Copies of this chain bind each other. A is one copy, B any other.
Amino acid sequence: DLPLLLIAGPCQLESTDHAQMIAGRMAEICAAHGAQFVFKGSFDKANRTSVGGKRGLGIDGGLKVMQSVKDSIGCPVLTDIHTADQCAPVAAVCDVLQIPAFLCRQTDLLIAAGETGAVINVKKGQFLAPWDMPNVVAKIESTGNRRILVTDRGTSFGYNTLVADMRSLPTMARMGYPVVMDATHSVQQPGGQGGSSGGQREFAPVMARAAVSLGIAAVFIETHEDPDIAPSDGPNMIPLAQMDALVQSLMDFDALAKADPIRV
């Protein structure tokens, strides 16, 4: 088993400088602790809680930022796509296309993404059981693409709350694809602040550690140098200044978990 992969970055791409700063710092941290790294950033927040929420740089601006990160930092990059026609242009720049959780049942999007040949990271919908994911993955596989990651970002639990069921990770691992724990979105409180989502940032490291101890392939973490001013998802992001200690800690648990695999 390979060492842990960190998929990390800001929620929204904000500017070239900002993206390079975060990607550069995260690449350093991951290199220092032996973790793999993929930079994450969104060019469009297509499903903001409110119509007034900031949407982001757009596809053209976002892809330029992503290209600059690849050129300057040399790491793979991931972004999320929302419509079938975005898949090909995004795959021309990005290494990993991500299917948002709300859209994980949209057949045309899954197929268009799969057909690019890029790696596809598909998030389990908050409304799906982990054992429903083989149907989702089969839509991508129908294109011949088997470069697939599956991510848990929490499951609906009453109103305005998600719960991360640890059984989900080994259940989804049965499909044979790398499993990712989204440590920051699984502590989101959807709609919990009226016009935007709340979050419990303090529990993101809890989710990450518990999941890594089970021997998963990757952790997804949104991070920002000042989450309280981030244009989206601030309440559940981890401050960039805490990432070094967190990655070091997660790598210790990863080494132990990879040496002592748990299978169900």
Contact = CB atoms under 8 A, between A and B. Distances in A.
Given A127-B127, A166-B203, 12 more contacts: A47-B105, A51-B139, A55-B107, A102-B103, A125-B127, A129-B159, A132-B190, A157-B158, A167-B200, A212-B213, A213-B213, A252-B256
Contacts of A229: none
Interface string A135-176: 100110010000000000001111111011111011000000
Contact of A253 (B50, B55, B170, B256): B256
B170 A206 contact: yes
Interface of A: 46-51, 55, 82-84, 102-103, 105-108, 111, 125-129, 131-132, 135, 138-139, 142, 155-161, 163-167, 169-170, 187, 190-191, 195, 200, 202-203, 205-207, 209-214, 249, 252-253, 256, 260, 262, 264
A166 B51 contact: no
Contacts of A155: 156, 159, 163
Contact of A132 (B51, B83, B191): B191
Contact of A209 (B111, B125, B214): B214
Contact of A107 (B47, B163, B191, B212): B47
A105 B47 CA distance: 5
Contacts of A202: 264
A263 B207 CA distance: 12
B214 A210 contact: yes
Contact of A108 (B46, B103, B160, B213): B46
A158 B28 CA distance: 40
Contact of A135 (B50, B82, B102): B50
Contacts of A102: 102-103, 105-106, 125, 127
14 contacts: A46-B106, A46-B108, A48-B107, A50-B138, A126-B156, A127-B156, A155-B163, A157-B157, A157-B165, A163-B163, A167-B187, A167-B200, A210-B213, A253-B256
